[in-house]
Amino acid sequence: MRASGPGSYPPGMELREELPADRRAVRDVHLRAFGDHGLVVADLVDTLRNTVTPDDGLSLVAEEDGRIAGHIMFTRSLLDAPRRLVEVQVLSPLAVLPAFQRRGVGTALVRRGAAALAERGVPLIFLEGDPGYYARHGFVPGGGLGFRKPSLRIPDGAFQVLALPDHQPWMTGTLVYSEPFWRHDAVGLRETDTE
């Protein structure tokens, strides 16, 4: 995907799947981009990575001149729908090194990842994030579509979803995060985040 217009990315920037040799650089991206939360996010990535396989989940990096400038990860969680449990994907985390921000790298990672998951037949991608950013990529508030968030500590506006072509109307219900999000206490806001 290297289209012009929205979703294009800087010349010289390559998007590709993360390789084992990228791990340290990916960690560094999250430590630098997330500031005080960087350690939690970097540790979460190291745990989630073990759940990513060629058929399930996705870990993409943006590389420019041999430097990892951005990273995005999608991993499997469950939607507790009335008919049955449905495998969905959660976009978390996304980060771009501060020096590379506002050049379309984050946009390219989101769009490439969503396109790859759509091709695999994934019905829904959920995330927690700033609606101001993700609305640009087609995400909408999950509550409005009948989805329930996995924690009351997630602000309503932050709980967002992107429905892909394989989504069917009966696929509603509660998002159940995979265990690593709880183990790393990486769900929603704690009182200490809002004080």
Ligand X SMILES: CC(C)(COP(=O)(O)OP(=O)(O)OC[C@H]1O[C@@H](n2cnc3c(N)ncnc32)[C@H](O)[C@@H]1OP(=O)(O)O)[C@@H](O)C(=O)NCCC(=O)NCCS
> Which residues of this chain interact with ligand X, rule CB under 6 A?
33-34, 93-96, 101-107, 129-130, 132-133
* Nearest residue (CB) to ligand X, 32 versus 76: 32
Residue 49 vs 103, nearer CB to ligand X:
103
102 alpha-carbon distance from chain centroid:
18
Considering beta carbons, is residue 77 or 172 the nearer one to ligand X? 77
Q: How far is the CB of 85 from ligand X (least distance, A)?
A: 25
Helix (H), strand (E) at residue 30: helix 23-33
Considering only CA atoms, which of 86, 93, 85 is closest in space to residue 37? Answer: 93
Tokens coding 118: 């759509």
User: Is the CB of 5 or the CB of 132 nearer to ligand X?
Assistant: 132
- Kindly state the smallest distance separating residue 126's Cβ from ligand X, in Å: 12
Neighbour count for residue 84 (Cβ, 10 Å): 11
Q: Which residue is nearest to ligand X (CB)?
A: 106
Residue that has been written with the tokens 């990842």 in this structure: 113
Residue holding tokens 């409005």? 144
> To the nearest whole angstrom, how small is the minimum distance from the Cβ of residue 182 to ligand X?
18
Shortest reach from residue 158's CB to ligand X, in Å: 8
Smallest distance, ligand X to C-beta of residue 84, A: 29
Instruction: Report the C-alpha gap between 154 and 72 in whole angstroms.
Output: 20
β-strand partners of 63:
14, 68
Selection from 80, 71, 74, 43 nearest residue 56 by Cα: 74
Nearer to ligand X, 8 or 47 (CB): 8
